[in-house]
Amino acid sequence: MKTLKDKLSKHTLCVHEGSRPDEYKGINTPIYTSTSFGYLDTDERYYPRYFNIPNQQAVIDKVSALEHASDGLVFSSGMAALSTVLFSLLNKGDHCIFQSGLYGGTMNLILCEFDRFGIEYTLLQNNDIVTFQKALKKNSKVVYIESPSNPLLSITDLRKVSEFCKNSGCISVIDNTFASPVNQNPIDSGIDIVIHSATKYLGGHSDICAGIAVAGKKYIDRIKRTSVNFGGSLNAMMCYMLERSIKTMAIRVEKQNYNAGKIAEFLYQHHQVKKVYYPGLPDHQGYEIACRQRTGFGGMLSFELADLNAVTFQKGLRLIKPSMSLGGIESTICAPAVTSHKLVPKNQREAEGISDQLLRLSVGIEADADLIEDLEHALKQK
């Protein structure tokens, strides 16, 4: 039997789910600033590093409902969430399979930390399921994917990956940051653990640094044991700000989806643009898969300039801000080669298609016509 929560739309869940009652009848969750809690007459030991204070739980309840998960943990950054999850699931001698085209910070974590902890890994050359199967070893424990990927917006078939993992006994983990819970719910496709850099779409206003992992309770209990030791928890004030921000996520993301679609079509037809990467374009390699497993194509796109210098182009923009990070209400742009993927070796960047002329655009909630006019102006620079 479906509960009320199962029947509610994402717009309603964003606003109402997880909120804690206020004894003075305020409609917002109170901010519990204490880092010290009494322990007599209770079985619970409340402490921010134990991931169990009320403001942390309010965020988790909200995101868990949106992602159709049963539990979760909120962290101080997306990388704190990602690294804690992986080191909770992998031990010395284990093997992890990583899809191609990962976020630069994830790649740097793998290349800098896994060898010294004795964890084996395979970085795939493409995301075809046959490639996953060929990479499988007897000691494979985790398969890690990112869809859409950062920054080339490649799409991975979630159901095929989840079936592969179940047949091989591996745990499936996805970075769902680019899609957001509004556009994609990987657990519905059989993925085990979902990670978000909450700094992006969940926060949505470029003023919060946080991360989230949600899953079934058995996985969260396992991750929590490591999380307490790693200490990457989030304080009550930031949790309150994050809960407040998620309340508007559905309407923000829908507008960003619409704007990005219009901009992708404009750039696709422009002579100064060599290539556009956006899963909502029919000729995108992952278009049909995206149509099956997503409810929206997202607010992220990348494009490669033909002849115009990338720095000159960015300096010609008047509305869109050259800036790192993404997912905010304002449109921002960056060159992945010198920002998100700066720490990835140049030969590896180029092999993955991340050239110096590639630009990643995070589309905001401004009027689409104003953003297109701004891009058109910058494309006329010399």
Quote the CA–CA distance of 305 and 270 in Å, as a whole number. 10
- Could you tell me the CA-to-CA distances from 254 to 77, 194, 251 in Å, in that order? 24, 21, 5
Omega into 148 within 30° of 0, i.e. cis? yes
For residue 243, the SS3 value is helix
Q: Which residues are catalytic?
A: 49, 103, 175, 200
Pairing outcome for strands 358-362 and 300-305: antiparallel
Q: DSSP H helical segments within the chain, as ranges?
A: 4-7, 10-16, 54-67, 78-89, 104-109, 129-135, 158-168, 180-183, 217-230, 236-246, 249-268, 287-293, 310-315, 346-351, 368-379
Name residue, tokens 């470029």.
206
Contact residues for 245 (Cβ-Cβ < 8 A; gap 6+): 202, 203, 204, 205, 208
Spatial CA neighbour of 215 closest among 190, 185, 192:
192
Reading the block at residue 6, the tokens are: 């199962």
Concatenating the DSSP letter of every residue in 260-297 gives HHHHHHHHHT-TTEEEEE-TTSTTSTTHHHHHHH-S--
User: In the β-sheet with 358-362, what is the strand arrangement from edge to edge?
Assistant: 273-277, 300-305, 358-362, 332-334, 321-322
Quote the CA–CA distance of 206 and 213 in Å, as a whole number. 20
Torsion 39-43-46-47 (CA) sign: positive
